[in-house]
Amino acid sequence: MQMTRGMRIREAKAYVAQKLSVSVQDLADPVRMAEVRDDLDLGLVRSLPHRVKGIDAKFRIAELLDIGINCVNRFRDRVGKKFK
């Protein structure tokens, strides 16, 4: 949120927490966030089969946070597909 919208830290935390339906405090809780990442397909620390990895997770992040991510847009253009 700092990189795409220039938000200061408090505003960025509030925005992300609202979008992920968690509290601001939860954002810094690795146990809670592991659940959130698993539920919302945002990528996990541990690499597991059939879970999003790498840039896949960035597509999800862009969609959930409603932001444009440069590499996601470029990848989309390169593969020439439209994603809903």
Residue 72: C-alpha distances to residues 2, 5, 8, 60 (Å):
17, 16, 23, 10
Q: With binding defined as CB under 8 A, does residue 34 bind other proteins?
A: no
Which of 7, 14, 17, 33 touches other proteins (CB under 8 A)?
Answer: 7
Residue 59's Cα: distance from chain center in Å?
8
What's the token pair of residue 65?
A: 């946070």
C-alpha–C-alpha distance, residues 60 and 72, integer Å: 10
C-alpha–C-alpha distance, residues 49 and 19, integer Å: 26
Q: With binding defined as CB under 8 A, does residue 24 bind other proteins?
A: yes
What's the token pair of residue 23?
A: 């509290």
Closer CB to other proteins, 20 or 43, in the complex? 43
Closer CB to other proteins, 24 or 66, in the complex? 24
Closer CB to other proteins, 77 or 84, in the complex? 77
Q: With binding defined as CB under 8 A, does residue 76 bind other proteins?
A: no
Q: Summarize as ranges the residues that interact with other proteins (CB under 8 A).
A: 2-4, 6-9, 12, 24-25, 27-28, 42-43, 45, 47, 53-55, 57-58, 61, 68-71, 74-75
